[in-house]
Amino acid sequence: MQLNFHAISAIFNFEMARTRRTVMQSIIAPVISTSLYFVVFGAAIGSRMPSLDGVSYGAFIVPGLIMLSLLTQSLSNASFGIYFPKFSGTIYEILSAPVSHLEIVLSYVGAAATKSIILGLIILATATFFVPLHIAHPFWMVFFLLLTSITFSLLGFIIGVWADSFEKLQVVPLLVITPLTFLGGSFYSIAVLPPFWQKVALLNPVVYLISGFRWSFYDAGDVSLGLSVGMTFFFLIVCLLVVQWIFKTGYKLKN
């Protein structure tokens, strides 16, 4: 199947232009809020805490904080990107246009993932002003950055289709994803937990994302690299299957 790159580019550029119009909310605010974490946990508290896996606490939390911003921004960007056309009614114009379902997904998910990756790289650069950083495996760092942003942009796309109000857009990010990220090892290693709670923590899917991303920095993680990669691909495949089902059935798109 030949892709309509003109259509993909049009939707993609429209979504990116929205980010440029709201750069304070989309980029600057998340960077400032994350920088406060670096100041409070990295400098103030981290200087009084022992190292974890041979890494200072301030540096240890950097991958978790980047992943926290990446997950939340991927979700919010993708969910709002597809929800607003539903809210305004322009989604029917898109669905009736000579644009395939694959091209629609590539456009919205691609734009959301691009925004999240840019934000993640800015936060990574900002972190170097607060704590010493060393990336042991740059390829794997970029790999997890790309894969995670795409996966959660797909999840955000699903949430945007499912939501029928602006309030519902915030339910999953605030009540599900953010708690899972905080409990997924953003600020600590699950190895410090009691054995029972270590097993419970392994039920949290975000643990595998943060562990793999942290391994790319410091060559140490809570679970093996293979398990982190495998679980991330599993989440990606599940999201792809749900998106395929949405377009096949027209769930909340055609009625």
pLDDT digits (tens, 9 = 90+) for 134-150: 899 999 999 999 999 99
pTM for the predicted model, two decimal places: 0.91
d(CA 106, CA 110): 5
- Residues 106-125, mean pLDDT to the nearest whole number: 92
Identify the residue with better confidence: 121 or 36: 121
Q: Select from 129, 92, 109 the least CA-distant residue to 250.
A: 92
Q: Which residues are within 8 A (CB) of 250 and not within 5 positions of it... i.e. 6 or more apart?
A: none
Looking up tokens 């322009």, which residue turns up? 90
Predicted confidence at residue 139, as pLDDT, reads: 94
- Residues 233-252, mean pLDDT to the nearest whole number: 91
d(CA 146, CA 64): 15
* Amino acid at residue number 45: I
The answer to whether residue 160 scores a pLDDT higher than 70 is yes
Give me the sign of the Cα torsion angle 146, 235, 28, 169: positive
For residue 196, give the DSSP letter.
Answer: H
d(CA 28, CA 159): 25
The answer to whether residue 187 scores a pLDDT higher than 70 is yes
Through-space distance between the first and last CA atoms of the chain, rounded to whole angstroms: 27
- Across-strand partners of 55? 52
Looking up tokens 């010493």, which residue turns up? 132
- Residues 167-190, mean pLDDT to the nearest whole number: 84
- Residues 189-218, mean pLDDT to the nearest whole number: 90
Q: What percentage of the chain's residues is helix, strand, coil (to nearest 5)?
A: 80, 0, 20
Which of 1-5, 125-129, 221-225 comes out lowest in average pLDDT? Answer: 1-5
Q: Select from 145, 181, 189, 209 the least CA-distant residue to 57.
A: 189
Predicted confidence at residue 43, as pLDDT, reads: 64
Predicted confidence at residue 251, as pLDDT, reads: 86
pLDDT digits (tens, 9 = 90+) for 49-93: 766 667 888 888 889 889 988 998 899 899 999 998 888 888 888
Predicted confidence at residue 106, as pLDDT, reads: 92
The answer to whether residue 233 scores a pLDDT higher than 90 is yes
In this structure, are residues 136 and 217 in contact, taking their beta carbons and an 8 Å threshold? yes
The answer to whether residue 107 scores a pLDDT higher than 90 is yes
pLDDT digits (tens, 9 = 90+) for 2-36: 788 888 898 899 888 887 887 787 788 888 888 88
In this structure, are residues 247 and 166 in contact, taking their beta carbons and an 8 Å threshold? no
In this structure, are residues 97 and 90 in contact, taking their beta carbons and an 8 Å threshold? no
d(CA 71, CA 148): 7
- Residues 190-196, mean pLDDT to the nearest whole number: 87
In this structure, are residues 164 and 252 in contact, taking their beta carbons and an 8 Å threshold? yes
The answer to whether residue 217 scores a pLDDT higher than 90 is yes
Q: What is the mean pLDDT of the chain?
A: 87
The answer to whether residue 40 scores a pLDDT higher than 80 is no
The answer to whether residue 44 scores a pLDDT higher than 70 is no
The DSSP secondary structure of 73-125, one letter per residue, reads: HHHHHHHHHHHHHHHHTTHHHHHHSS--HHHHHHHHHHHHHHHHHHHHHHHHH
